[in-house]
């Protein structure tokens, strides 16, 4: 989307080193744990991110529960985390909605 953030679908722990190699410095996971059978848990992603020297934030929400608090939490993480950031969920759709909502509210 920009030189500070990329919106993407589910990533896996094995991809963290490569993402760091590509220049990413932070990951924001918005997918709730246990949403799908083969989905890695947030804690597993957090450990892989740390091994790759990536900052990590977990802000889980589903499509029915996007709130002003979730948007504000995302904006806070966006401003404090090293750039560029990889923002992801299952398909990328919720990540895009969250990013656009923060933009529309003037938080980014």
pTM (2 decimals)? 0.95
Average confidence score pLDDT of the chain: 95
Domain 5-104 has CATH 3.40.50.970: no
Instruction: Give the residue-averaged pLDDT of 88-104.
Output: 96
List helix spans (H) across the chain: 16-21, 42-51, 68-80, 93-104
pLDDT band of residue 65 (cuts 50, 70, 90) is confident
What residues does each domain of the chain span? Answer: 5-104
At residue 63, does pLDDT exceed 80?
A: no
Bridge partners, residue 7, by sequence: 87
Distance (Å, whole) CA 55 – CA 85: 9
């Amino acid at each position: 989307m920009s030189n500070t953030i990329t919106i993407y679908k589910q990533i896996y722990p094995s991809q963290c080193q490569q993402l760091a190699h590509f220049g990413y410095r932070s990951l924001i996971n918005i997918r709730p744990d246990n949403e799908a059978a083969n989905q890695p848990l947030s804690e597993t992603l957090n450990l892989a991110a740390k091994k790759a020297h990536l900052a990590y934030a977990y802000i889980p929400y589903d499509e029915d529960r996007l709130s002003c608090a979730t948007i504000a939490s995302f904006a806070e993480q966006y401003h404090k985390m090293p750039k560029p950031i990889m923002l992801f969920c299952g398909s990328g759709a919720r990540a895009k909605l969250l990013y656009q909502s923060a933009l529309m509210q003037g938080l980014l």
